[in-house]
Amino acid sequence: MRNIIKRLILFFLAIPLLTVLILFLPQYGHLGVIILVTIVGFICGFELRSMLSGVAKPIPRWAALIPGISPMLAWGINTGWIPAEASTIALVAGVIWALTDAVFVQEAEITGGVTRMGTRLLMVMYPGWFLWWVARLTWFENAHFVILIFMLTVFLNDSLAWFFGMLFGRHRGIFGVSPNKSLEGFLGGMLTSVAVIILSSYFFPEVLPHPLWQLIIFGIVAAFTTTMGDLVESALKRAVGVKDSGHIIPGRGGMLDSIDSVLLTAPVFILFIQSAVS
């Protein structure tokens, strides 16, 4: 019961505060949002480094900064301070670093090379590269509406999937990495995502001018990626033997526990928006 109360308090505080940040502080390319995502990225980087240290040689401390640098890079490109090619260069450099790390090890450590490459590639891609897409939401002309719709699509899905699962969940154990998730919770979250997208197209037609059938499909896809983002992190935690990525957020665990649903949905969301405005 205490955990439920913590989740509810966090929900009713976080959503209004994020809404104020998005709608009323759009200055300098939504710098306020970028700063928030950057801080989140740094915390996630150090949480992930700590988690992965139990299965492989610890990732260098500087590498834990990658997820926080990623949103700053996106902001620099959006404001014109950094050339657009820098994002591709940074991604390629990060992947090369991750894959070649095992080359420069002592002979006794060679057998752990695949694990070393995998843990470093995780840092670059998850959450690093995916947070770049979250920051990329600020690039749109109506970015404040785009970010708000994105936030509601993901967070309301996550919250109501938990709510429906808690009240009506009967068919559980669908996913071995997260046995408490239920089919009823997933369907409740999916209906929520579809409803948010359809209602958003009514209130913000300049952002979502898509026909109804596309909006429904996108709502279903967004529900899938939101759930998969949560399950990917659950699989990661199970693999390294931890319950939570951290303890920074009451009732939720670590920062990565709280944004896992966001990560996989951001690029899909952007591609869908662009399909109408390109």
Q: What is the DSSP string of 60-126?
A: PGGGGGHHHHHHHHHHHHHHTSS-THHHHHHHHHHHHHHHHGGGGS-GGGGGGHHHHHHHHHHHIII
What was the pLDDT predicted at 184? 84
Cα separation, 276 vs 274, in Å, equals 5
Cα separation, 263 vs 229, in Å, equals 6
Cα separation, 263 vs 132, in Å, equals 9
Name the residue with tokens 């948010």: 196
Q: Classify 253 as helix, strand or coil.
A: strand
Q: What is the pLDDT along the chain (278 residues), one digit of tens a residue?
A: 445 555 555 566 667 777 777 777 777 788 889 999 999 999 999 999 999 987 877 788 999 999 999 999 999 999 999 999 999 999 999 999 998 887 777 766 666 678 888 899 999 999 999 999 999 999 998 898 999 999 999 988 888 887 777 777 677 767 767 777 878 888 888 999 999 999 999 999 999 999 999 999 999 999 999 999 989 998 998 888 888 888 887 666 788 988 888 999 999 999 999 887 54
pTM for the structure as a whole: 0.88
Residues 6+ apart with CB under 8 A from 155: 11, 14, 15, 261
Tens digits of residue pLDDT in 41-68: 999 999 999 999 878 777 889 999 999 9
**CA-based Rg of the chain, rounded to a whole angstrom?**
19
Angle between helices 255-263 and 212-240 (to 10 degrees): 140
Name the residue with tokens 């990225």: 41
- Reported as half-sphere exposure (CB side, CA atoms, 13 A), residue 21 has a value of 17
Could you tell me how many residues make up the chain?
278
Tens digits of residue pLDDT in 217-228: 999 999 999 999
Joined tokens for residue 150: 């994105």
Q: Classify 165 as helix, strand or coil.
A: helix
